Amino acid sequence: MSDLPPMGASSGPPPPPHSRKVPSLAWRCFVSFLRIGLLLLIMLAWFQRSLIYHPAKSQSLKAGGAQLPQAVVDVTVKSHDGLTLNGWIALSGQKKSALPVDTKKLLSQGHPLVIVFSGNAGNRANRTHLLYTFGVLGADAMIFDYRGYGDNPGKPSEANFLRDARVIWNHATKELHVPARRIVLYGESLGAGSAVQLAGDLCREGIEPGGLVVQSSFNSLVDAGRHHFPILPVGLVLIDRFESERHIACVKCPILQLHGSRDQIVPLRLGQKLFEAAPAKSSGGIAKQQLILPNADHNDVYGVDRPLVVDALKKFLKTVSTPTAR
């Protein structure tokens, strides 16, 4: 009997069954991390406006219901795309009992008019403390809810906010006949994104507002997003960016910044970057001013440090109401 293998048979052992390399634990963890990161990125891109804007809706917000001692009247404007946007005007020195009043006549009496651009949450009914403060300081105040906020239709976005801000400015100057030099733009937190860009655009066009106040705001929403989501490439996916740092460099009117030293939502370092980007002086030679509030967080500026805030605003408004200061 031959020990030779049959014709065509292999002389070696049979090949092992086909097998795949088992991924290492480190590789599997890395892939899982990438998947989680990608999922978070997709969620951030898809839901980013839900993370940015927190409107409080209301069926109606009539001026008669405003909890303020001064007279408050309703005001409306038409947006570029045909929406009716509602707001209030609070008139300094006029008691609520004096209603109805001639709004245009009262606005022509020489008081500063503060146009308020509020933060990302609530509606104008949550800003009565601002309107009250300006009234005490002898300034009229106008505030509109953003589209999608309060009793206003539409959906919030940076592009629409900026267009609406210009419509509001035009209403104040062209319909209500308030001179630009008597108007102070006041931006609270996210609202400073609209106020700063509006001020920058106006100054680039040779139209100088009376002043700009920036409260508790950032240099850009991208940097604010990176602070809250440090592991995500926020700059790649963020649509609404509010690049105030770029626009404030063009502002030629007097500037006042208010920022809490304990702000946990918009850290002081982001406010500092915005302040550093602003021109050192206005076209009239007024130095930019910064008030760092020692006790304030983000939402209690008018609570814990109210006396400091009121004093700073009082002095700042004098630069608007006193022509020689300009």
**Residue corresponding to tokens 């891109």:** 45
Q: What is the pTM of this model?
A: 0.87
**Start-to-end C-alpha separation, the chain:** 119
What pLDDT was estimated at residue 29? 81
What pLDDT was estimated at residue 70? 94
31 lies in some domain: no
Tokens linked to 248: 């404030």
90 lies in some domain: yes
34 lies in some domain: no
Rounded to whole angstroms, how far apart are CA atoms 126 and 96?
19
What pLDDT was estimated at residue 96? 85
In total, how many domains does the chain have?
Answer: 1
What pLDDT was estimated at residue 168? 99
What pLDDT was estimated at residue 6? 55
Distances (CA, A) of 123 to 31, 88, 160, 315: 44, 11, 17, 28
Q: At what angle do helices 221-228 and 268-277 cross, to 10 degrees?
A: 160
Mind listing the pLDDT tens digit for each residue in 95-117? 888 888 899 999 999 999 999 99
Average pLDDT, the chain: 91
Rounded to whole angstroms, how far apart are CA atoms 260 and 264?
9
204 lies in some domain: yes
Mind listing the pLDDT tens digit for each residue in 7-21? 555 555 666 555 555
28 lies in some domain: no
Mind listing the pLDDT tens digit for each residue in 164-198? 999 999 999 999 999 999 999 999 999 999 999 99
What pLDDT was estimated at residue 10? 52
21 lies in some domain: no
User: 126 — phi, psi (to 5°)?
Assistant: -90, 5
219 lies in some domain: yes
Residue percentage of the chain with pLDDT more than 90: 76
What pLDDT was estimated at residue 324? 47
Each of the 326 residues of the chain gets a pLDDT tens digit; together they read 455 555 555 555 666 555 555 567 878 787 777 777 667 667 666 678 888 999 999 999 999 999 999 999 999 999 999 999 999 999 998 888 888 889 999 999 999 999 999 999 999 999 999 999 999 999 999 999 999 999 999 999 999 999 999 999 999 999 999 999 999 999 999 999 999 999 999 999 999 999 999 999 999 999 999 999 898 888 988 999 999 999 999 999 999 999 999 999 999 999 999 999 999 999 999 999 999 999 999 999 999 999 999 999 999 999 887 654 44
Domain of residue 76 covers 50-325
Cβ burial 62-91 (10 Å sphere, 16+ → b, else e): ebeebebebbbbebebebeeebebbbbbbb
45 lies in some domain: no
Rounded to whole angstroms, how far apart are CA atoms 45 and 235?
11
3-state helix, strand, coil in the chain (%, to 5): 40, 20, 40
CATH number of the domain enclosing 104:
3.40.50.1820
